[in-house]
Structure 1
Amino acid sequence: MKLRFLSPANHGIVDYLAAFALIVAPFILNLGDGSPSALWMSVCSGIAVIIVSLATRYRYGAFKIIPFGGHLTLDLLVATVFMLVPFLFDLKGLDAAYYYINAVVVYLVVAVTASEESFS
């Protein structure tokens, strides 16, 4: 099995599912007890994922402005920011774990996503 098995089209589906989760999960998990920024940063991130996904050149992009490689670079940047958020906002407990887990998931999704050329 190839390490990079997720096609750009399937990556797009993952993006929209992740956006939904980033918007809804903080309310289900009661995120933000220690810091309201933990909740709202997730919601804003979910909205940003929708915007970037709509602007990406892949099957589920509407405007096709951002090349897929640029999209993956943005994903890596977001994962790194998620890893730093608990330190920057002094998050503890579930609030911090939420961002660490999201960071790891985004890093993994990028790691298993194949380039456009692999599926052309």
Structure 2
Amino acid sequence: MNLRFITPTLHGVADYTAGIGLIIAPFLLGLGQSSHIAVWFSVVTGLAVFVASLLTDYKYSLARVIPFQGHLAIDLLVAVTFMIVPFVFALTGIDAIYYWFNATVVFLVVSLSASK
């Protein structure tokens, strides 16, 4: 039984959705109680996710410059970064939980994504 059921196409849809979510969610959730970094790190990461998605070799891409395996490596780097951001910037409460939750989701998506 193969647990890697997220196709590159589905992963791409998730990426665009995540990019938009990372830009909008901090404002909807009222992040920034422990530091304004909680808001702006998410927004900048969301923009980077969106750009990386436009450049990844999968459906709905603008230019297929980044191989899908390279994209998964970038996603892992984002997940690890999200895990440590609360410690590095002394985020607490909802700010920290937001990053740990997103790190967990990214780890899951990468681990369940099928390579081409």
Please indicate the TM-score interval, normalised by the length of the shorter structure.
Answer: over 0.9
Q: Tell me the percent identity.
A: 54
CA contact (8 A) 2:34 2:90 kept: no
Q: Residues of 2 paired with 1:19 and 1:30: CA distance?
A: 18
Provide runs of 4+ in structure 1 moved above 3 Å.
none
Matches within 5 A, 1:66-77: 66-77=66-77
Residues 1:113 and 2:105 aligned together: no
TM-score (norm 2): 0.98
Deviation (angstroms), 1:2: 2.5
Q: Which 5+ residue runs of structure 2 have no aligned equivalent? A: none
* TM-score w.r.t. length of structure 1: 0.95
Displacement after TM superposition at 1:58 (Å): 0.5
Q: What is the count of residue pairs matched by the alignment?
A: 116
Superposition pairs for residues 24-35 of structure 1, below 5 Å? 24-35=24-35
Look up the match of 1:16: 16
RMSD (Å), alpha carbons = 0.7
SS in 1 for 2:48: helix
Partner of 1:101: 101
**Cα separation, 2, equivalents of 1:107 and 1:85:** 15
The match for 2:86 is: 86
